[in-house]
Structure 1
Amino acid sequence: MKKTLIILLACTALFSCKDNEKKEQPEQKEEQKAIDPVSNESLESAVIYEANIRQYSPEGTFDAFTKDIPQLKELGVKVIWLMPVYPISMKNRKATGDLSVEDIEDAEEREKYLGSYYAISDYTDVNPEFGDFEDFEELVETAHENGMYVILDWVANHTGWDHKWIEENPDYYHKNSKGEVTDPINPATGESWGWTDVAHLNFENKELLEAMGEEMKFWVEEYNIDGFRADVAGEVPTEFWESIVPQLKEIKPIFMLAESEDKDLFENAFDMGYNWEGHHIMNEMAQGKKTAKDWDAYMHKIDSTYQEDDYLMSFVTNHDENSWNGTVKERMGDASEAMMALTYTLPGMPLIYSGQEYDMDKRLLFFEKDTIPKEKGKVWPLLEKLGELKNENKALHGAKEAASYENIETSEEEKVLAFKREKDGAELIYIANMSDENTSFSIQLNGTFENYLSGETLEISEDKNMDLESWQYFILINK
């Protein structure tokens, strides 16, 4: 009897476990359906958002950013790039100018200098100023629930001076003739870049490659992040990236962004690079130093330089440009809107930097607490429209199977930039007066088009001149 009872209890427990498994499975499937794995298909129509957690809100926390993630869907954002979220070293921490915190005697004054995000003391922890791991996990889950991928800023070239490797593995670092660990040195001049708050890692040490790889795996395995933006990617040996990326992809599909234009990095490691040269040309066009013809030459150059499936991230601002080179208005003035629209209509992926969506017209402090404006003005609704177009119109596909890009000839090639994008029957045309003078011109284009931003119908023909005011632009779609 006792034996029969035990058997009955065991069977009951077994069926109960199976029932529980059946109940759990739909929940697991539902969670998995929150977002599909990263794929080229999802990246073709993506907008990327650079999140500066410290400056995004008065609180400067993960939680404050997380509650706004659903709003980013309105802007068509599909990838969130988090600037470094790791603890920041105190030793040699940058303050202002050439000063470090050690140079500041007043204790209260010293406390306001929070240091550079890129001087990392621990690759596998979060900055306590931002919150804890639970807060970080909630951020990632919220992004996934809203159809967005999360990539982390990865700084492989150097660590902060408080990193444990300095003491435990000094052979991981570059050293001078005295055997002292150095900050990064410019190989062309032999002099410091001025990044005195960080210690330069030496990837000739093969143990470092393995150790760094394990630190990256931690975030993919434990916190389900979807890839990395690699800081100064070209300063780190390509061998490292080509070694670790396949290992990361064994865990799950990931997206890799290189802060570099080096085409060799795209061979076996990175999906996308920076459109630095294009960005600089945009600045110079806005300042009257370069013309639409220079832009056409640049597009011809990259068409012949890169492989067909290489692509770049385009931007009018980012954390470096904003803090060190000026706001969008400072650099681009009245041309700002035309340039922003250009970043969306080019092949590749457009970037929004924290504050850009709120018409931010100030340089954010880099080593201290600051905050972006949070009032929607002119830029937000424009980014909504551009984001919707990028998400939904195949003519703006920009990743490995990008829509075609074809220059359109005009009678004012120095002033007028015109090109067509096309894929699977979808067509889009961008026409802009890239000068500070009103311009009349003819264009090698015929047809009836919809002005996407205004909804108006435009009839265009080769034998009839078009007139554009300074910096005026059209985004035209086929009727």
Structure 2
Amino acid sequence: MRLTFIYLASLLLIGTVWGCRTNPEQTEAQNGSLSATTPTDTSTQNGSNVPAPEWTKNATIYEVNVRQFSAKGDLASVEIQLPRLKELGVDIVWLMPIYPIGLEKKKGALGSPYSVADYKAVNPAYGTFDDLKHLVQRAHDLGMRVLLDYVPNHTAWDHPWVKQHPDWYTLVNGKMTSPLDDKGKPTGWDDVVELNYDNPDLRAAMIDAMTFWVREADIDGYRMDASGLVPDNFWQDVRPALDKIKPVFMLSEWEADPAQFKACFNMNYGWAMHALLKDIAKGKAKATAIDSLLASRKKEYPRWAYQMQFTQNHDENTWNGTLTESFGAGAKAFVILTSTFNGMPLVYNGMESGLNKRLLFFEKDSINWGTYTDATFYKSLLTLKHRNRALWNGEAGGELIKIPTGHDDQVYAFLRQRDNDRVVVLVNLSNQLQTIRLSGDGYAGLYTDVFEHKPMELKTGMTMTLKPWEYHVMTN
């Protein structure tokens, strides 16, 4: 979702309600994170498995802000960097919206990519339809996949449908309206106008546009913006229409509706985990709260479903802060967690070069790539994800098993194992020295530290001291 609104993500964790950050520019609206009052939908536990392509089992995802990715800000410049991303360990390239942008009520000099003026065209500033097809083909040649960012809930005010099909839009007091949130309150997205999914002709036209890109450009799926503001029964129609062309992968930005997994989606955003990790970084929550959140997800989601785990994305970077602003000196410790938890890790463009600025949303603001100072760090994590089955996605991976440390309020330690593959992660999530004593069982053995490249033997009852924010990722 184009985060130009306040996040109201909250979750009941060990009797404490905690909230997401706010974006002061906008009015109140939910970002799709589970709230303390959201009822648990356990029906998804018994739902049938929404199909997922085989290539997703150990995949990682990389978000490209096309406008800011290069000085030219076009698709051809993204294609040039695909071999580098492949070498980094990226499997899925997610392109932020590539469609023409509305001019009416646009924000800033260039407008928002999420204000779509034509669902079946490429923004001329980004290149041509053939440029997109060439990019997708190049990605496929490299063994990579491409997701398009799609905006189903609203269009630009000057989208042709506004005049051609006014009955396809939501009316309030007889007038079209900017989007409302799932409580019927204004979102503040005044550069776009809300669609009405009660209209069957709109539904047909939207599915036609979605199938167009799969059929004509050979894309591999979608990241769906504000998907929770669109009815689940629409998503039930979307999935078979897309899979009829080719097996696709579907990412929902929403988190508050587990039933979406049953309807259409393979993965959703880990918004609540992201907010919790930021609170831990700032000393506002304890590391043990992670266990409560993971347990709730296990209860709410079908076994095969999983979340996208992240420390940055375009919303967070622009409106809430850079990696360092959000996580301080412990930034890499939290990247370690999001890269080894259950779920698929996201790398936002520029992180491998230590992105240290908030990229502007409505203006040109190119990434300074420098010398890719953190590329080795991310490559180590993504390569481990590929090779070690314990870290694979969904049911293909190993369950996260907590390792008690005696300092679990500050240190998070766990084992993941699948068949003979093991990964043990130890992370000090505090700015204090921590001397820990490992207990429990199942993890003892010889490992190699992924970052220090040296052997390490773990034994039950052993003690070790971790410096502030220190981490160890060990594999057998």
Normalising by the residue count of structure 2, what TM-score does the alignment of the two structures yield?
0.87
Q: Which residue of 1 aligns with 2:151?
A: 155
Q: Once the two structures are superposed, what CA deviation does each residue of 1:211-247 show, in whole Å capped at 9, x if it has no partner?
A: 1000111111111111111001111001111101101
Alignment of 1:230-241 (within 5 A): 230-241=224-235
In the TM superposition, residue 180 of structure 1 has moved relative to its aligned partner by: 1.3
Kindly state the Cα deviation for residue 449 of structure 1 after the two structures are TM-superposed: 2.0
SS of residue in 2 equivalent to 1:418: strand
Counterpart residue number, 1:121: 117
Contact residue 116 and residue 159 of structure 2 kept, 8 A = yes
State the match for 1:455 in structure 2. 453
Which of 164, 179, 189 in structure 1 is aligned with 2:160?
164
Listed one character per residue, the Cα deviations across residues 346-404 of structure 1 (whole Å, up to 9, x for unaligned) are: 11110111111110010000000111111234321101111111111111111342222
Does residue 224 (structure 1) correspond to residue 218 (structure 2)? The answer is yes
Query: Which residue of 2 is the match for residue 266 of structure 1?
Result: 261
Alignment CA distance shift 1:224-1:377 (3 Å): closer
Structure richer in helix, relative to its length: 1
Kindly provide the amino acid, as one letter, of the partner of residue 333 in structure 1: G
Q: Which amino acid aligns with 1:73?
A: K
Tell me the residue number matched to 1:196. Answer: 190
Count, aligned residues: 422
Amino acid at match of 1:238: D
Q: Which protein has the larger Cα radius of gyration, Structure 1 or Structure 2?
A: 1
Residues 404-440 of structure 1, C-alpha deviations (whole Å, 9 max, x = no match): 2111111111011011111121010111111110000
The residue type paired with residue 417 of structure 1 is Y
- 2:457 maps to amino acid: E
Contact 1:357 1:376 survives alignment (8 Å): no
Write the distance in 1 (CA, Å) between the matches of 2:263 and 2:199: 21
Alignment of 1:248-327 (within 5 A): 248-261=242-255, 262-327=257-322
Which residue type is aligned with residue 333 of structure 2?
A
Name the counterpart of 2:15: none
Work out whether 1:141 is the aligned partner of 2:154: no
Structure 2: 5+ residue stretches without partners: 1-50
Deviates more, 1:145-154 or 1:450-459: 450-459
Partner residue, 1:49: 62
CA distance in 1, matches of 2:224, 2:52: 19
Q: What's the counterpart of residue 429 of structure 1? A: 424
Deviates more, 1:280-289 or 1:40-49: 40-49
The equivalent of 2:472 in structure 1 is: 474
CA shift, 1:114, in A, is 0.4
The 8 Å contact of residues 79 and 148 in structure 1, kept in 2 or not, is answered as yes
Relative to structure 1, the CA distance from residue 244 to residue 321 in structure 2 (aligned partners, 3 Å threshold; closer, same or farther) is: same
Q: Which residue of 1 aligns with 2:94?
A: 81
Matched-pair contact (CA < 8 Å) for 1:156–1:231? yes
In 2, the alpha carbon distance for the partners of 1:463 and 1:268 equals: 46
Instruction: Structure 1 unaligned segments of length 5 or more: list them.
Output: 1-37, 96-112
Q: Partner of 2:379 in structure 1?
A: 384
Which residue type is aligned with residue 280 of structure 2? M
Provide the residue aligned with 1:100 in structure 2.
Answer: none
Amino acid at match of 1:379: D
Amino acid at match of 2:432: E
Output the CA distance in 1 between the equivalents of 2:250 and 2:182: 26
Quote the residue 2:403 is aligned against.
408
Alpha carbons of structure 1 residues 62 and 187: separation in structure 2 relative to 1, 3 Å: closer
Is the contact made by 2:147 and 2:220 (CA closer than 8 Å) also made in structure 1? yes
Shift of 1:41: 3.2
- 1:19-58 to structure 2, matched below 5 A, reads 40-58=53-71
Report the Cα distance in structure 2 between the residues aligned to 1:55 and 1:449, rounded to whole angstroms: 40
User: Is residue 62–residue 348 contact of structure 2 (8 Å, CA) maintained in 1?
Assistant: yes
Question: Partner amino acid for 1:246?
Answer: P
Q: Distance in 2 between matches of 1:464 and 1:293?
A: 21
- C-alpha contact 1:176 1:182 (8 A) present in aligned 2: yes
Contact residue 40 and residue 399 of structure 1 kept, 8 A: no
Q: Write the distance in 1 (CA, Å) between the matches of 2:327 and 2:86.
A: 27
Alignment of 1:343-362 (within 5 A): 343-362=338-357
Q: Does 1:174 align with 2:170?
A: yes
Query: In the alignment, is residue 132 of structure 1 matched against residue 128 of structure 2?
Result: yes
Q: Does the aligned pair in 2 maintain the 1:40–1:400 contact within 8 Å?
A: no
